[in-house]
Amino acid sequence: MTATQTLSLRLPVALLAPVAPTTNQVFSQLMAEHKDRLFRFVVRRIGDATEAEDIAQQAFVEAALGYDEFRGEARLSTWLYGIAMNLIRNHLSRAPSRRFQFEDEDSLSELPGHTPDPERQHTLTQQIQLLQRELADLMPEQREVLMLVSLDEMTYEDAAAQLSVPVGTVRSRVSRARAQLRQRFSAAGASWTH
């Protein structure tokens, strides 16, 4: 048998085998699809765009370096957001003063936007301050899952995968957090709309 015959006998088998994308292709696609969303996810939690960009970049780097350890039990994007969440937790634990950054009204006046009438603006300001206080008073587990589901618009399933808890736990934490916020808003004489 000649070398040409050997090649022709093995060619059909090679064509039937699926071609796996390279790691570079996988991460190029992952970055293209999630770069902006991951940045917004991080910046919402730490409040500083420059640091959020660094953390988001670090999440991609750590995901690429640890790709061999990815077990495939969840989607790759869920795994990436889990890495980002761990980096955020580490960042916040090292710098607790950076958890929330509250701006005074002078710095906010420079931002463009539609300004409601003064009475409406006062009401909105009071509601936002109340919401910030009440969110801070929630149990961390409830606050975290409420932020993922409500603010980041994650599904219960994705939030459960990211937090490594059952979907039922996510549902109950969200329900309890919303009920507590509703009750606290009512006690303060404010309306709660979800």
Q: Which domains does the chain have, with CATH numbers?
A: 22-99 (1.10.1740.10), 118-194 (1.10.10.10)
Is the pLDDT at 64 greater than 60? The verdict is: yes
Residue 51: closest CA among 80, 24, 22, 84: 84
Neighbouring residues of 164: CB distance < 8 A, sequence distance ≥ 6: 82
Q: Which of 59-68, 90-99, 105-114 is predicted most confidently?
A: 59-68
For 4-55, the pLDDT digits (tens) are: 444 333 434 444 444 456 767 877 888 888 888 899 889 888 888 889 999 9
Residue 10 has what pLDDT?
41
Distance from C-alpha of 72 to C-alpha of 147, rounded to nearest angstrom: 25
Q: Which residue has the tokens 């509250």?
A: 102
Residue 97: what pLDDT?
57
Of the candidates 85, 121, 92, the one whose C-alpha atom is nearest the C-alpha of residue 105 is 121
- Dihedral angle, C-alpha 157, 161, 164, 166, nearest 10 °: 20
Average pLDDT over residues 177-184: 89
What span, in angstroms and rounded, lies between the C-alpha atoms of 131 and 128? 5
Rounded Cα gap, residues 170 and 182, in angstroms:
18
Alpha carbons 164 and 57: distance in angstroms, whole number? 23
- pLDDT given for residue 54 in this prediction: 92
122-159, pLDDT tens digit by residue?
A: 888 888 888 888 888 889 899 889 988 888 888 899 88
The pLDDT value given to residue 19: 43
Q: What DSSP assignment string belongs to 11-32?
A: HHHHHHS--PPPHHHHHHHHHH
- Output the average pLDDT for the chain: 78
Residue 167 pLDDT > 90 = yes
User: Can you give the pLDDT at residue 4?
Assistant: 45
Kindly report each contact of residues 106-113 with a partner whose C-beta sits within 8 Å and lies 24 or more positions away, as own/partner: none
- Write down the pTM of the prediction: 0.47
Q: Supply the DSSP symbol for 69.
A: G
Q: How far is it, in rounded angstroms, from Cα 71 to Cα 97?
A: 36
The one-letter amino acid at 34:
H
Other beta carbons within 10 Å of 17: 7
